[in-house]
Structure 1
Amino acid sequence: MSTAPTLSTITQPTDRSAPVFVAGRNGLVGSALWRHLTNEGFTALLGPGSAELDLRDRPAVFNWFAANRPHAVILAAARVGGIKANATRPTEFISENLRIQVNVLDAALQYRVQRLLFLGSSCIYPKAADQPIREEALLNGALEETNEAYALAKIAGIMHVRAVRRQHGLPWICAMPTNLYGPDDNFHPEHSHVLPSLIRRFHEARIHMAPKVVNWGTGTPRREFLHVDDLARACLMLLDRYDSDSPINVGTGEDLSIKELSDIVASVVGYEGSIEWDTSQPDGTYRKVLDISRIASLGWAPAIKLSEGIADTYAWYRSTVG
């Protein structure tokens, strides 16, 4: 399903003075994009919050595009959550993400947005994909059951972008980030992803001097984590340079076990109690690490080490909870 990337039609960087719509501006990814694009000299960023523009509301989305006419769009808005939320609320994950994507992509096409970056997720790849996962693995096997609904929505977005490229010739692109973390993450006790969930759990255990922390699963699955500021750098580089109908992976190319991750978080937080594992809870996919050779060939590499990124994220979390 994948083709080799080509840069032939991208001859100059994205216009820093043109209006750029960051969809999902207040989320983990959107806020990082906003910071980075501002620092890089973009002067006409557009980022309405959900109270101002509900991306699930099709007429509202089209009216907004008609009024604002963005030159470029980064579609970072999505309904997201951890393993429990995905497993117990699949209807919301597939319905809301499909509506957001279809509305934004259709409006962007109607108003001839010249550059669009659709952000997917590494969960689009098959559960049993060879590791590290190459972009060519897309659609070559069954998905992980616990987040199948979310993954299918993201796959639909990739196919939507590919269809626009084929039928209308617009140089829209897709990027597939690995597991992300950083400031502005979701630290909800039930709906967050693994890393912010661990930060909150160990922080509360330290504050309350709990003798032990119980984590889900066995701790043996391996995951890859990318600081969201590194993703923001990658997104701008891709907008400036990348053109292909194939999605492109964005990650570190390195993984560690959830147990190793737990130990790092406990150390950063300063928790010194015992750590136990509830093996009755699901592990999810055993291993998921991306092959990043394609984006590396374009000159991009992650810059933030995991331990430093976790410390930065924990400092931000403490500043928000007091």
Structure 2
Amino acid sequence: TCTVRLFSVFGPRLRKQVVWDFMNKLSAKPDELSIQGDGGDMRDLNHIRNVVEAMLLVAEKGAMTGDVYNVAARESVTIDELAGTLAAAMGLSPRILHTGVGRPGHARSWKADTGKLESLGFEPVMSYGDGIADTVAWFRNLKGAP
């Protein structure tokens, strides 16, 4: 057996986590986005297509001897950068408000070491920007928005 550890997954059909929350907030209130904390937290965001490709690769080529494979897109972004990218993809320019208070016990930064996965030949199939565009398109279709 082995372990596949996923980092900050987003994409169509995932109806939780920061990307989903921000899209819902922006859809309800397009001129303003409230962000918990100071916006400086880092996340290694990872589109679901990358996750699927990584799992298939590990199943095909991975060592089933207790190894751990970190699955991440290698593109860390701050929460503020994510908010800006999402807003732009939605055609919005909201005012960003920070609560200044993060969640107790919440990690400020997630950066995965994907070396073991890359040694199997893994390359992300969906970039961060394309993944955001794909997710926003799905969200618009789901909500019936133009």
- TM-score w.r.t. the length of structure 2 is 0.90
Give me the whole-angstrom Cα distance separating, in 1, the residues matched to 2:53 and 2:13.
17
Larger Rg, first or second structure (1 or 2)? 1
Partner of 2:71: 250
User: Which AA in structure 2 matches 1:185?
Assistant: L
Deviation at 1:254, TM superposition (A): 2.7
- The residue that corresponds to 1:235 in the other structure is 55
Query: 1:1-322 residue pairs with structure 2 within 5 A?
Result: 172-186=1-15, 192-206=16-30, 211-243=31-63, 244-282=65-103, 284-322=106-144
AA aligned opposite 2:27: H
Q: Which amino acid aligns with 2:35?
A: N
Change (3 A) 1:296 1:263: same
Query: Hey, what's the Cα distance between the residues in 1 that align with 2:8 and 2:74?
Result: 11
Alignment coverage as a number of residue pairs: 142
Distance in 1 of aligned mates of 2:91 and 2:24: 12
8 Å contact from structure 2 (residues 75, 128) kept in 1: no
- Verify the 8 A CA contact 2:37 2:103 in the aligned structure 1: yes
Separation in structure 1 between the aligned mates of residue 6 and residue 60 of structure 2, nearest angstrom: 18
User: Are the counterparts in 2 of residues 203 and 271 from structure 1 also a CA contact under 8 Å?
Assistant: no
Shift of 1:286: 1.2
CA apart distance, 1:281 = 4.2
Cα deviation digits, residues 52-75 of structure 1 (max 9, x gap): xxxxxxxxxxxxxxxxxxxxxxxx
Q: The residue matched to 2:29 in structure 1 has which SS? A: helix
- Gapped regions of structure 1 (runs ≥ 5): 1-171, 187-191
Q: Tell me which of the two structures has the higher relative contact order, counting C-alpha pairs closer than 8 angstroms and 6 or more residues apart.
A: 2
Counterpart Cα distance in 2 of 1:295 and 1:273? 37
Gaps of 5+ in 2: none
Instruction: State whether residues 10 and 47 of structure 2, in contact with CA within 8 Å, keep that contact through their aligned partners in structure 1.
Output: yes
One-letter code aligned to 2:76: D
The offset of 1:232, in angstroms, is 0.4
* Distance in structure 2 (CA, Å) of the matches to 1:248 and 1:305: 20
User: Once the 2 structures are TM-superposed, how far is the Cα of residue 199 of structure 1 from its aligned partner?
Assistant: 1.5
Provide the aligned C-alpha RMSD in A: 1.4
Q: Which runs of 4+ in 1 moved over 6 A?
A: none
Higher helix share goes to which structure?
A: 1
